[in-house]
């Protein structure tokens, strides 16, 4: 759904380009439009009936020869006029429809005009700009001039007279007539050879070389080389039976210049190789080299290595860190679906046995996003994880004969009937409706293959694949099966290039098909990124590890065992999350190999990716990042909620309900809403958006940010002042430090001297004590000597006494 930006009112109109044109068309009588790749049945059904006068200018790419594209477009349109486009046919007959084409690539535009009013849309992809008002003044003059410049060199290829001329001709003359009307015959005669060489070169760069358009351009170059030296005009080419026949075969034979037989495409040649089958009774997994092989060998299931398990987290981190915005949640959910894909049939069977709702388990998955967003890389990862190579991915954009064959031709070939010349001319179509239906038929046939569990991977179909009526029919038919009709069947995985278009997902399709968006491109690639991309593509190893299907086969067996032993508690977990079985089995490996950490736990605890919630978050982000919206929001200090008024929403009352529905109830952002607007909790909204937008705006509007700024400024000033003061007193502090050092040295020296003095005094006291002791001993000896002397003298006096008679003899 293309969004519209009203350049005059500065508003984003969210309800889509087609819806807006239909509303405005009731008041306008004329439509002039320039568009690429028109869907004629859609134009006939939705736009043409609204206007009395209609003019279409077709735009073709630089890699196409415009006249060739115009001739092909006419050959596609004329059969539709007789059956599928009654309003366009009626307007042609009344002279109120004209179709032209421009050889210059321009932006699409739609100009609606009434008696006094106009509405002018211009742009391409997902965004259109709108200018509207009265048919007066400078704006209207500018629009007229712009439309005049865009259509000045356009060539008319269809009006009342041209269509009547086509109807009046015999069938075998009509192809020549289209060559004349488109101007291709004149171009072949008059344009220089270098123009065709350049067109071929651009086609080689811009298209697949296997594509129909490139093949035709290359053959036109060879045709031009053959006639370049002859003096021919467009009329002479058409008059020459051989030349006109050759040119008609190139243009309308879908490259069938040499009379190549138109046959039913060999669908089975595009099935994956190898294939894995599962016996529904024993659960044995078998390997088959190809679908038409009789060789079937039981697979020896090996336990994944630690590197096999950690590789999954390497991929998730890559989509977290190397994308311009974190899309790891989407990558994790997709990889879990891929690893569970071999058991989807058995999970649905187990739910059905308990009378559960099998439709809630998706049987297909679709990656959607613009170029360079990593969706095709994820598809290659899925192929590597399931069959061990990327060679068997079906390229929808280049398989023209596989997906482009019209239903009428297919029906005749199936019935064995011969094809008319007109059948051969229109055997293949580039109409997205035809291609989408054929892709779903191809998928349906593959899913019917007996006991196959290998998913089919299809790259680059139109994003309309999931919003087509064929998708709804296919998914309802296959997902609503119950009982005995539920058998072994594979899933299908698609990678769709949105080319700037929003996917329109019906609720019934969203339940049965798991759609995952990849909306952001990668950052500038480093050498390490380039090497990792090669690893993901299966072209090289990463630290000795190659992506392989060991983990897929092992988890398929583990999930089967878990389902066989599932109790009531397990069943409740399965009802809550259809990916629970694979997460449970994979987590056991994570624990066993010691890979449990905060990061790995986070992915297993988060909700599965939901595209509706993701797109809602993106739409809210666009709205809140508009300065005009932020100026209208009411903030109150100390109030955790803010008021978003109704007038900021693109369609006011209609879009309040839609934007309220975007908000997940579990996030507790907004309880309800009224005619005035929505009251939201700022912190919860910021948490859901992954930023601080509302909180920062609240602080700015209430003055908190200014106060914080002043406080921060004062703190910084204080730090600066302190730094300056520190620089000023630094010399004094240095001197003080030096003085303190000297004082410490003196103190230490004094202490040392004091200690020495104390030691000397102690020694002196000891010496004095020793002297005293010696003196005491001497005195004692002297006393003893004195006593001895006295004793001796006493004895001597005794001897001098007179002796008796006996004393002299007995002496």
Q: How far apart are the first and last CA of the chain?
A: 163
Cβ-Cβ contacts under 8 Å for 271 (sequence gap 6 or more)? 290, 291, 392, 446, 449, 456
Q: Confidence class of residue 255 from pLDDT cuts 50, 70 and 90?
A: very low
Tell me the average pLDDT of the chain: 85
Task: Please state which architecture CATH assigns to domain 3-168.
Answer: 2-Layer Sandwich (3.30)
Predicted confidence (pLDDT) per residue in 735-751, tens digit: 878 888 888 888 888 88
| Measured distance CA(697)–CA(617) in Å, rounded | 19
Please report which confidence band the pLDDT of residue 258 belongs to, taking 50, 70 and 90 as the band edges. very low
Q: Rounded to 10 degrees, what is the CA torsion of 105, 107, 110, 111?
A: -90
The model's pLDDT over 115-146, given as tens digits with 9 standing for 90+, comes to 888 988 888 766 788 888 888 888 888 888 88
Residues 6+ apart with CB under 8 A from 300: none
**Top mean-pLDDT range of 56-60, 77-81, 500-504, 683-687:** 683-687
Check whether 26 has a pLDDT greater than 70. Answer: yes
Q: Name residues whose C-beta falls within 8 Å of residue 136's C-beta, 6 or more positions apart in sequence.
A: none
> Which comes out higher in pLDDT, residue 105 or 541?
541
Pairing of strands 285-288, 297-298: antiparallel
Which token pair is 538?
A: 């299966």
Give me the pLDDT at residue 1, please.
Answer: 46
Residue 730 has pLDDT above 80, yes or no: no
CB 285 within 8 A of CB 278: yes
Residue 766 in tokens: 């000891």
Report phi then psi at 156, rounded to 5: -70, 130
Q: Is the pLDDT of residue 240 over 90?
A: no
Nearest to 238 by CA among 157, 181, 280: 181
Asked if residues 487 and 345 have their Cβ atoms less than 8 Å apart, the reply is yes
Nearest CA-CA partner of 578 in 614, 613, 608: 608
For residue 259, the model assigns a pLDDT of 45
Task: Report residue 208's pLDDT band, with 50, 70 and 90 as the boundaries.
Answer: very low
Residue 204 structure tokens: 């080689």
**Angle of helix 580-592 relative to helix 328-340, nearest 10 degrees?**
100
Q: Is the pLDDT of residue 277 over 90?
A: yes
Q: Would you report the helix, strand and coil content of the chain in percent, each value rounded to 5?
A: 55, 15, 30
Express each pLDDT in 490-499 by its tens digit.
Answer: 999 999 988 7
Q: What is the mean pLDDT of residues 78-89?
A: 84
Q: Tens of pLDDT along 219-236?
A: 888 888 888 777 888 888
pLDDT, position 637 = 92
Higher pLDDT, 663 or 79: 663
pLDDT at 135: 87
Provide the pLDDT for residue 333: 95
Write out the DSSP string of 753-778. HHHHHHHHHHHHHHHHHHHHHHHHHH
Interatomic CA distance for residues 138 and 122, integer angstroms: 17
Please state, in angstroms and rounded to a whole number, the distance separating the CA atoms of residues 409 and 263: 9
């Amino acid at each position: 759904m293309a969004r519209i930006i009203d350049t005059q009112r500065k508003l984003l109109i969210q309800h889509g380009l087609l819806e807006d044109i239909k509303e405005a068309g009731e008041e306008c009588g004329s439509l002039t439009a320039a568009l690429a790749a028109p869907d004629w049945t859609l134009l006939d059904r939705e736009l043409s009936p609204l206007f009395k006068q209609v003019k279409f200018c077709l735009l073709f790419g630089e890699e196409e020869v415009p006249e060739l594209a115009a001739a092909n477009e006419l050959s596609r349109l004329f059969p539709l006029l007789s059956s599928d486009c009654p309003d366009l046919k009626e307007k042609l007959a009344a002279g109120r429809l004209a179709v032209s084409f421009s050889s210059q690539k321009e932006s699409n535009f739609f100009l609606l005009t009434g008696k006094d009013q106009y509405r002018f849309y211009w742009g391409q992809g997902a965004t259109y700009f709108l200018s509207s008002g009265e048919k007066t003044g400078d704006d209207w003059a500018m629009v007229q001039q712009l439309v005049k410049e865009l259509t000045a060199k356009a060539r008319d290829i269809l009006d009342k007279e041209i269509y009547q001329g086509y109807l009046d001709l015999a069938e075998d003359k009509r192809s020549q007539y289209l060559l004349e009307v488109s101007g291709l015959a004149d171009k072949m005669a008059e344009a220089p050879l270098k123009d065709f060489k350049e067109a071929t070169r651009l086609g080689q760069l811009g298209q697949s070389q296997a594509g129909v358009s490139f093949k035709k351009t290359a053959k036109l170059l060879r045709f031009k080389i053959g006639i370049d030296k002859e003096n021919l005009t467009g009329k002479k080419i058409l008059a020459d039976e051989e030349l006109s026949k050759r040119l008609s075969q190139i243009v309308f034979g879908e490259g069938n210049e040499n009379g190549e037989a138109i046959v039913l495409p060999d669908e089975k040649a595009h099935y994956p190789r190898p294939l894995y089958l599962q016996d529904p009774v024993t659960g044995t997994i078998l390997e088959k080299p190809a679908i038409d092989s009789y060789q079937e060998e039981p697979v020896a299931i090996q336990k994944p290595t630690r590197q096999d398990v950690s590789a999954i987290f390497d991929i998730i981190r890559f989509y977290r860190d190397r994308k311009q915005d974190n899309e790891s949640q989407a990558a994790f959910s997709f990889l879990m679906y891929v690893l569970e894909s071999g058991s989807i049939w058995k999970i649905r069977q187990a739910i059905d046995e308990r009378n559960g709702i099998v439709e809630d388990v998706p049987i297909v998955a679709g990656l959607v996003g613009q170029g360079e967003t990593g969706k095709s890389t994820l598809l290659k990862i899925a192929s590597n994880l399931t069959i061990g190579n990327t060679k068997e991915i079906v390229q929808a954009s280049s398989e023209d004969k596989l997906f482009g064959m019209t239903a009428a031709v297919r029906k005749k070939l199936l019935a064995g009937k011969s094809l008319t010349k007109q059948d051969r001319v229109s055997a293949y179509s580039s109409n997205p409706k035809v291609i989408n239906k054929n892709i779903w038929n191809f998928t349906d046939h593959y899913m019917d293959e007996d006991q196959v569990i290998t998913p089919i991977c299809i790259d680059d179909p139109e994003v309309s694949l999931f919003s087509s009526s064929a998708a709804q029919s296919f998914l309802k038919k296959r997902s609503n099966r119950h009982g005995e009709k539920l058998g072994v069947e594979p899933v299908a995985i698609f990678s769709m290039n949105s080319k700037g278009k929003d996917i329109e997902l019906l609720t019934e399709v969203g339940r049965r098909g798991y759609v995952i968006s990849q909306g952001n491109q990668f950052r500038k690639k480093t050498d390490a990124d380039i090497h990792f991309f090669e690893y993901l593509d299966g072209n090289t190893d990463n630290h000795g590890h190659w992506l392989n299907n060991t983990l897929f086969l092992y988890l398929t067996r583990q999930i089967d065992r878990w389902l066989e032993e599932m109790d009531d508690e397990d069943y409740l977990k399965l009802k809550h999350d259809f990916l629970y079985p694979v997460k449970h089995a994979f987590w056991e490996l994570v624990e066993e190999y010691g890979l449990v950490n905060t990061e790995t736990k986070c992915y297993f605890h988060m909700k599965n990716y939901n595209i509706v919630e993701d797109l809602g978050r993106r739409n809210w982000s666009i709205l809140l990042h508009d300065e005009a919206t932020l100026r209208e929001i009411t903030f109150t200090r100390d109030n955790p909620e803010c008021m978003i008024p109704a007038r900021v929403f693109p369609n006011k009352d209609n879009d309040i309900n839609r934007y309220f529905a975007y908000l997940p109830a579990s996030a507790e952002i907004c309880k309800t809403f009224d005619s005035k607007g929505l009251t939201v909790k700022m912190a919860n909204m910021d948490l859901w958006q992954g930023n601080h937008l509302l909180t920062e705006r609240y602080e700015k509007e209430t003055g908190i940010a200014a106060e914080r700024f002043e406080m921060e400024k004062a703190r910084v000033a204080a730090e600066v002042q302190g730094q300056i003061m520190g620089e000023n007193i630094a010399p004094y502090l240095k001197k003080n430090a030096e003085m303190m050092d000297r004082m410490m040295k003196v103190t230490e020296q004094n202490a040392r001297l004091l200690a020495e003095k104390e030691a000397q005094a102690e020694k002196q006291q000891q010496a004095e004590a020793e002297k005293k002791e010696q003196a005491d001993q001497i005195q004692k000896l002297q006393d003893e000597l004195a006593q001895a002397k006295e004793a001796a003298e006493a004895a001597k006096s005794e001897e001098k006494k007179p002796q008796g008679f006996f004393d002299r003899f007995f002496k």
